[in-house]
Amino acid sequence: MADLKKFLPEIITRHPKAKIPLNGLDSRLIQAGNQQFIFMEFDEDVEVPPHSHNAQWGIILEGEMEITIAGKVHNFKKGDHYFIEKDVIHSAKIKAGYKDLTFFDQKDRYEEELVEK
Protein backbone atom coordinates (compact mmCIF):
# COMPACT_ATOMS: atom_id res chain seq x y z
CA MET A 1 0.00 0.00 0.00
CA ALA A 2 1.20 3.47 -0.86
CA ASP A 3 2.41 5.52 2.10
CA LEU A 4 2.12 9.29 1.83
CA LYS A 5 4.01 9.60 5.13
CA LYS A 6 7.22 8.83 3.21
CA PHE A 7 6.52 11.62 0.70
CA LEU A 8 4.68 14.38 2.58
CA PRO A 9 5.32 16.18 5.88
CA GLU A 10 3.29 15.49 9.00
CA ILE A 11 1.29 18.72 8.61
CA ILE A 12 -0.47 16.96 5.72
CA THR A 13 -0.33 13.30 6.76
CA ARG A 14 -2.03 14.03 10.10
CA HIS A 15 -5.25 14.65 8.15
CA PRO A 16 -7.71 11.77 7.74
CA LYS A 17 -7.68 9.45 4.78
CA ALA A 18 -10.39 9.94 2.17
CA LYS A 19 -12.81 7.09 1.55
CA ILE A 20 -12.06 6.48 -2.15
CA PRO A 21 -12.91 3.05 -3.62
CA LEU A 22 -9.69 2.48 -5.59
CA ASN A 23 -7.03 -0.19 -4.96
CA GLY A 24 -3.46 0.73 -4.06
CA LEU A 25 -4.32 4.27 -2.97
CA ASP A 26 -3.24 6.27 0.05
CA SER A 27 -4.93 9.65 0.46
CA ARG A 28 -5.32 12.57 2.83
CA LEU A 29 -8.45 14.72 2.91
CA ILE A 30 -8.37 18.39 3.85
CA GLN A 31 -11.80 19.95 4.19
CA ALA A 32 -11.80 23.62 3.20
CA GLY A 33 -15.26 25.07 3.71
CA ASN A 34 -17.30 24.09 0.67
CA GLN A 35 -14.35 22.46 -1.10
CA GLN A 36 -11.94 19.58 -0.55
CA PHE A 37 -8.23 19.06 -1.16
CA ILE A 38 -7.07 15.45 -1.55
CA PHE A 39 -3.42 14.36 -1.63
CA MET A 40 -3.24 10.98 -3.39
CA GLU A 41 -0.56 8.36 -4.00
CA PHE A 42 -1.00 5.14 -6.01
CA ASP A 43 1.24 2.10 -5.67
CA GLU A 44 -0.39 0.17 -8.50
CA ASP A 45 -1.89 0.94 -11.91
CA VAL A 46 -5.54 1.97 -11.65
CA GLU A 47 -8.31 2.69 -14.14
CA VAL A 48 -10.97 5.15 -13.06
CA PRO A 49 -14.22 4.61 -15.00
CA PRO A 50 -16.11 7.46 -16.70
CA HIS A 51 -17.92 9.73 -14.25
CA SER A 52 -18.72 13.38 -13.53
CA HIS A 53 -19.10 15.70 -10.55
CA ASN A 54 -18.46 19.35 -9.64
CA ALA A 55 -15.35 21.09 -10.98
CA GLN A 56 -11.94 19.53 -10.30
CA TRP A 57 -8.39 20.89 -10.56
CA GLY A 58 -5.24 18.88 -9.99
CA ILE A 59 -1.46 19.10 -10.13
CA ILE A 60 0.78 16.08 -10.64
CA LEU A 61 3.48 15.82 -7.96
CA GLU A 62 5.10 12.59 -9.27
CA GLY A 63 4.43 10.00 -11.96
CA GLU A 64 2.11 9.86 -14.95
CA MET A 65 -1.61 9.77 -15.72
CA GLU A 66 -3.69 9.58 -18.87
CA ILE A 67 -7.02 11.32 -18.46
CA THR A 68 -9.86 11.50 -20.95
CA ILE A 69 -11.92 14.68 -20.58
CA ALA A 70 -15.05 15.05 -22.73
CA GLY A 71 -13.68 12.41 -25.12
CA LYS A 72 -10.22 14.00 -25.53
CA VAL A 73 -7.18 12.09 -24.20
CA HIS A 74 -4.48 14.00 -22.29
CA ASN A 75 -1.19 12.69 -20.87
CA PHE A 76 0.15 14.35 -17.75
CA LYS A 77 3.42 14.03 -15.84
CA LYS A 78 5.14 15.70 -12.89
CA GLY A 79 4.54 19.45 -12.85
CA ASP A 80 1.51 19.37 -15.16
CA HIS A 81 -1.93 20.47 -14.04
CA TYR A 82 -5.45 19.95 -15.35
CA PHE A 83 -8.97 21.31 -14.94
CA ILE A 84 -12.28 19.54 -15.42
CA GLU A 85 -15.41 21.66 -15.54
CA LYS A 86 -18.55 20.73 -13.60
CA ASP A 87 -20.57 17.80 -15.01
CA VAL A 88 -17.99 16.95 -17.73
CA ILE A 89 -17.55 13.18 -18.21
CA HIS A 90 -13.97 12.04 -17.59
CA SER A 91 -11.97 8.88 -16.87
CA ALA A 92 -8.34 8.12 -16.08
CA LYS A 93 -5.54 5.56 -16.32
CA ILE A 94 -3.21 6.19 -13.41
CA LYS A 95 0.24 4.58 -13.27
CA ALA A 96 1.84 3.14 -10.13
CA GLY A 97 3.94 5.80 -8.39
CA TYR A 98 1.55 8.60 -9.29
CA LYS A 99 1.08 11.34 -6.68
CA ASP A 100 -1.07 14.44 -6.93
CA LEU A 101 -2.97 17.17 -5.17
CA THR A 102 -6.57 17.43 -6.33
CA PHE A 103 -9.02 20.21 -5.52
CA PHE A 104 -12.75 19.49 -5.72
CA ASP A 105 -15.25 22.34 -5.81
CA GLN A 106 -17.57 20.22 -3.70
CA LYS A 107 -17.70 19.95 0.08
CA ASP A 108 -18.90 16.34 0.11
CA ARG A 109 -17.07 14.72 -2.82
CA TYR A 110 -15.41 12.26 -0.42
CA GLU A 111 -15.97 11.28 3.19
CA GLU A 112 -13.30 10.66 5.78
CA GLU A 113 -12.26 7.03 6.02
CA LEU A 114 -13.21 5.83 9.47
CA VAL A 115 -10.37 4.17 11.35
CA GLU A 116 -11.28 1.41 13.78
CA LYS A 117 -9.61 1.72 17.17
What are the start-end ranges of the H helices in the chain?
10-13
pLDDT at 54: 98
| pLDDT value at 99 more than 90 | yes
7 touches 40 (CB < 8 A):
no
Helix (H, G, I), strand (E, B) or coil at 67: strand
**Quick one: 71 exposed, middle or buried, by C-beta within 10 A (0-12, 13-18, 19+)?**
exposed
Name the maximum alpha-carbon separation found in the chain: 44
At 7, is the pLDDT very low, low, confident or very high (cuts 50, 70, 90)?
Answer: confident
Q: How far is CA 96 from the centre of its chain?
A: 13
According to the CATH classification, is domain 15-104 in 3.30.70.260? no
Task: Write down the pTM of the prediction.
Answer: 0.89
At 116, is the pLDDT very low, low, confident or very high (cuts 50, 70, 90)?
Answer: low
pLDDT at 2: 65
Within 8 A by CB and 6+ apart from 46, the residues are 22, 23, 24, 25, 92, 93, 94
**pLDDT tens digits for range 26-44:** 999 999 999 999 999 999 9
**pLDDT tens digits for range 69-83:** 999 999 999 999 999
Arithmetic mean of pLDDT over the chain = 93
Task: Pick the closest to residue 97 from 63, 60, 58 (CA basis).
Answer: 63
